[in-house]
Chains A and B, each alone.
Chain A
Amino acid sequence: MPTNNAPKSAISFDSMPDAQGHFGPYGGRFVAETLMEPLDELRAAYERYKNDPEFLAELEYDLKHFVGRPSPIYHARRWSEQLGGAQIYLKREDLNHTGAHKINNTVGQALLARRMGKQRVIAETGAGQHGVASATVAARFGMECVVYMGADDIQRQAINVFRMRLLGARVVSVTSGSRTLKDALNEAMRDWVTNVDNTFYIIGTVAGPHPYPAMVRDFQAVIGREARVQMQEMTGRLPDALVACVGGGSNAIGLFYPFLSDASVAIYGVEGGGYGIASGKHAAPLCAGRPGVLHGNRTYLMEDDNGQIIETHSVSAGLDYPGVGPEHAWLKDTGRANYVAATDDEALAAFHALTRTEGIMPALESSHALAYAAKLAPTMSRDKSILVNLSGRGDKDIHTVAAREGITL
């Protein structure tokens, strides 16, 4: 870990979560009894292997040779110039194998599944990126793979569905509830509780019951560890601000976590603002929700006055989720990170801007982070720097972009 001169924060961010998986009042394990023992086994296995040199060597090998890490940092000079303020740097997770940050985590969990003797993996997916990343590692390790996906998301992300099938996964269409990511997660949990003896559930984000939020964070934290070194090599110092999109929040926590004790680094998580917070049609629980319990953890949720989970809206399937990882909930309450929202339209504008100015087509999820960076940059001087996590590439979204603009492909 490189050293830096920034003052240490008063709060210890490294000791979270506690032994029961709590980040302050958030996190924990809110699941039916059947899953408590399997979660304990998973926690024990993870704790055993996370510092095991052989496991870490295998993980490092795969991250380098299979995923293509380290991912580079790119200085978006032309775009920064246009925006007329801080210099924008992009952490290029879009260049990873399968085109997004999701594979950092699936490689880690698949290696753990093998050590636990599980032959079958299941996953939930929204945009399809985590499903593809899970199907990819399952193909690589010769494991059976079932991916649960909301019926509406299957419509929105046909290309990723086909990719998963090509990789040998079975994609199960989930037609209950709002037919999106949250319902896919419910269905994956039902599968796990039924097939718990031979099945490993690869959760794709930093939500769910303990140990998932901590484990997924640890696998994704490679993003921030690399970036911390790379930014210092490129600019001679740490960035002044970090920006990442937040659905469940795995790419964001992956970038943020190694910087949490660097008080000089401002942190911004950008939620899916949909049609705008005031419209009520958005996916921004940290900006406009309140604490509750869903999918195994206590966190901020989009819910009605009776505690029912309400349907979310975002142009980006990967952000279309009514909850958020519990560590983000805690970072919000402690004030260490700021959570803001970008609307569908703002994300689309950023999508086009980066594509045309830098020749990099971002995922619609990542476009939310770019949209906020575009607002933030002009408020900062030219010698400041903003590091944006470009969490995925936009090829999967071209049909969505075309349809919104009335173009038939």
Chain B
Amino acid sequence: MSRIAGCFAALRKSGKRALIPYFTAGDPSPDITVPAMHAMVAAGADVIELGVPFSDPMADGPVIQAACERALKHNVSLRDVLAMVKSFRQKNTTTPVVLMGYLNPVEVMGYETFAKAASEAGVDGVLTVDLPPEEASSLVDALGKAQIDPIFLLAPTTTDARVKRVCEFARGFIYYVSLKGVTGASTLDVGAVTKRLEQLRGLTSLPIGVGFGIRDAESAAAIGRGADAVVVGSAVVRLFADNAQSPQKIVPAVTALLKGIRGALDAK
């Protein structure tokens, strides 16, 4: 069983929801990434979603765009991100790590080379935002050989027929994009998401994580009632941005946010 599947199985047994923070590797500088990952686990994160910086993050809102720009000032590459995961794994062998990014850096490295290097570094899942299943078979094959779960998105615009097709490719968990928009948008409709999640349960047995627009304990708890996992991205990244000039404040701020969300998720 993959680390991701094991993680969700254990949470399901204990009736808990997974908390998945996202942040961009190398933001605001490369040295903070690994300590921040450990701090997030200590604050209650079950899975870490680590963003691979890209020059043209088309699906992201201004908060994560700016994080990519800060990381790219340090020329943080996909290889650098894999080295960070490898470093994280020296002290943590249990928390799943999912890379989230865009296809082009993977394309340039080569699918096989990337999959092998990611597996050796201890990566568990890969979500390439701009790679729908229609174009994904080569990368999915390469990841499969390397025992890495390909993570795919479902959106409010995804029809039932497409949900089934996407889920045939997906492993680990499925990521439901809670709104029509970019990351960090403020138009989350909890009622609509909950209703759609109920329908999705009939179409897939994969655990379902929900992201985009979850910004605090309250929205996380509301979404968590219907989901197996909540992904908190822009709200976390905003703390990296706010404290970019005094990076020692980042870990305490992120810890406080995640502990609050953890508490709200576990309360019920």
B263 within 8 A of A: no
B120 within 8 A of A: no
Give residues of chain A (1-29) contacting chain B, Cβ–Cβ below 8 Å. 20, 28-29
Contact A32 B62 (CB under 8 A): no
Contact A293 B157 (CB under 8 A): no
Q: Which residue of A lies closest to B62 (CB)?
A: A176
Complex-state Cα separation, A280 to B56, whole angstroms: 20
Assuming the A-B contacts A193-B180, A303-B108, are A33 and B152 also in contact, with contact meaning beta carbons closer than 8 angstroms in the complex? yes
Chain B: interface residue total (CB-CB under 8 A): 44
Contact A177 B55 (CB under 8 A): yes
Min C-beta distance of B164 to chain A, whole Å:
14
Contact A293 B58 (CB under 8 A): no
Contact bitstring A308-342, B, C-beta under 8 A = 1, else 0: 11100000000000000000000000000000000
Complex-state Cα separation, A261 to B108, whole angstroms: 33
A182 within 8 A of B: yes
Complex-state Cα separation, A189 to B180, whole angstroms: 12
B121 within 8 A of A: no
A72 within 8 A of B: no
Contact B130 A30 (CB under 8 A): yes
Contact A34 B61 (CB under 8 A): no
Residues of B within 8 A of A34 (CB): 59, 153, 155-158, 177, 180-181
Residues of B within 8 A of A113 (CB): none
B182 within 8 A of A: yes
Residues of B within 8 A of A32 (CB): 58-59, 129-130, 132, 153, 155, 177
> Given B78, B104, B129, B180, which contacts A309 in the complex, CB threshold below 8 Å?
B104
Do most interface residues of chain A lie in helix, strand or loop, or is the interface mixed?
A: mixed
Contact A37 B157 (CB under 8 A): yes
Contact A33 B153 (CB under 8 A): yes
Min C-beta distance of B27 to chain A, whole Å:
15
Contact B78 A193 (CB under 8 A): no
Min C-beta distance of B114 to chain A, whole Å:
10
Complex-state Cα separation, A32 to B152, whole angstroms: 10
Contact B134 A193 (CB under 8 A): no
Contact A36 B104 (CB under 8 A): no
Min C-beta distance of A321 to chain B, whole Å:
12
Residues of A within 8 A of B104 (CB): 292-294, 301, 303, 307-309
> Given B107, B132, B182, which contacts A307 in the complex, CB threshold below 8 Å?
B107
Contact B131 A194 (CB under 8 A): no
Residues of A within 8 A of B46 (CB): none
Complex-state Cα separation, A38 to B162, whole angstroms: 13
Q: Which residue of A lies closest to B60 (CB)?
A: A190
Min C-beta distance of A124 to chain B, whole Å:
12
Complex-state Cα separation, A295 to B55, whole angstroms: 12
Contact bitstring B179-219, A, C-beta under 8 A = 1, else 0: 01110010000000000000000000000000000000000
Residues of B within 8 A of A186 (CB): 56-58
A405 within 8 A of B: no
Contact B56 A294 (CB under 8 A): yes
Contact A308 B103 (CB under 8 A): no
Min C-beta distance of A158 to chain B, whole Å:
25
Contact bitstring A145-187, B, C-beta under 8 A = 1, else 0: 0000000000000000000000000000000110000110010
Complex-state Cα separation, A189 to B56, whole angstroms: 11
Min C-beta distance of B117 to chain A, whole Å:
13
B245 within 8 A of A: no
Residues of A within 8 A of B57 (CB): 186
B69 within 8 A of A: yes
B85 within 8 A of A: no
A197 within 8 A of B: yes
B231 within 8 A of A: no
Residues of A within 8 A of B166 (CB): 33
Contact B154 A33 (CB under 8 A): yes
Contact A307 B105 (CB under 8 A): yes
Assuming the A-B contacts A37-B157, A193-B181, are A29 and B58 also in contact, with contact meaning beta carbons closer than 8 angstroms in the complex? no
B159 within 8 A of A: yes
6 more A-B contacts (CB under 8 A) besides A33-B154, A186-B58?
A: A34-B177, A36-B132, A196-B157, A292-B108, A305-B108, A308-B104
Q: Interface of B with A (CB < 8 Å)?
A: 54-59, 61-62, 65, 69, 72, 75, 77-79, 102-109, 129-132, 134-135, 152-159, 162, 166, 177, 180-182, 185
A to B CB contacts below 8 Å, 17 in the list:
A30-B130, A32-B58, A32-B177, A34-B153, A36-B134, A37-B159, A177-B65, A177-B69, A182-B56, A193-B180, A194-B185, A294-B56, A303-B104, A306-B108, A307-B104, A308-B55, A309-B104
Please list the 6 inter-chain residue pairs (A to B) with the smallest Cβ-Cβ separation, ordered nearest first: A307-B105, A307-B108, A34-B155, A306-B77, A33-B153, A194-B181
